[in-house]
Amino acid sequence: MAYGWTGEKVRLVPLDQEKHLPNALLWLNDPDITQWTLRGDFPLSRLAEEEWFKHTMSHTNREVVFAIETLEGEHIGFTGIHQIDWRHGTAITGTIIGRKDLWRRGFGTDAVKVRTRYAFEVLGLRMLLSEVMAENVASMRMLLKVGYREVGRIPRRYWKRGAYRDVVLLVMERAL
Ligand SMILES: CC(C)(COP(=O)(O)OP(=O)(O)OC[C@H]1O[C@@H](n2cnc3c(N)ncnc32)[C@H](O)[C@@H]1OP(=O)(O)O)[C@@H](O)C(=O)NCCC(=O)NCCS
C-alpha cells in the first residue's frame, strides 16, 4: 500500500531506516553527489547516520525529512524542511537525488513542488529559504523553476573542493 505526499513523478514518504539508510550512506559518501552541497566531504559512518535517522525521525517539530520515492516505490533521494521556526513561519530546505542515473528527468523539480505544497498548505509555513553554491546549476535551475527567487549572493562564502565559493540565497514565499 502506498502512502505519503504524491506528485506527478514522486512520492515523499517517511524515513524508514531499513529501506532508506543504506542509500543515505552510499549517496552522502559519494563525492559526485556532494560536489556542490553545503554538507558532505567528511566521512559519514553508519553509526552517525543511524543516530541522525533516530534523531530526525523523532524531532519532526523542528525538522521534516522525507525520502523521495518514484511512484513505483523506488527510493531515489531525500528532501528536507530544516530549522523550522514556527514563530516566524520559516524553514531552510534541501534536496538530494541520489540516483545519478536519474538526474535531469524532472524528479528533483517534482519533489520540490510537493515539498513546497506540504510546507505551505500542511505545515502553514510562509517562507522557505535555500542556500546554493553558485556552481550548482542543477539546484539553482530546479529551485527557480518551482518559484524560488534569488535575493542575494555572498562572495567566497564556503570552502569547497579547492576554492572559496560564492553562495546564492534563494527564497520562496507563500502566496497570501
Ligand atoms: C540538484 C538535483 C536535486 C536536481 O535533481 P534533478 O532530478 O536532476 O532535477 P530536474 O531533472 O528536475 O532538473 C531541474 C532543472 O535543472 C536542470 N539540470 C539538472 N541537472 C543539470 C546539470 N547538471 N547541468 C545543467 N542543468 C541541469 C534541468 O535541465 C532542469 O532545468 P530545465 O527544466 O530548465 O531544463 C540533483 O542534481 C542532485 O541531487 N544533485 C546533487 C545534490 C545537490 O547538489 N543538491 C542540492 C543541494 S543545494
What's the whole-number mean pLDDT along residues 93-102? Answer: 98
pLDDT tens profile 5-23: 999 999 999 999 999 999 9
Ligand 1 pocket member 95 (CB < 6 A) = yes
Q: What is the domain extent for residue 34?
A: 5-129
Grid coordinates in use for 56?
530526525
Ligand 1 pocket member 112 (CB < 6 A) = no
**For position 94, which CATH number holds?**
3.40.630.30
What's the whole-number mean pLDDT along residues 146-151? Answer: 98
Please report, as a single letter, which amino acid is at residue 1: M
Grid coordinates in use for 48?
552517525
| pLDDT at residue 165 is higher than 90 | yes
pTM of the model: 0.97
d(CA 139, ligand 1 centre) in Å: 5
Whether residue 76 lies inside any domain: the answer is yes
Residue 27's pLDDT is 98
63 Cβ contact partners less than 8 Å away, ≥ 6 residues apart: 56, 80, 81, 82, 83, 84
d(CA 30, ligand 1 centre) in Å: 16
Q: Residue 136 in 3-state DSSP?
A: coil
Contact status, residue 76 vs residue 10, Cβ threshold 8 Å = yes
Q: Structural domain tally of the chain? A: 1
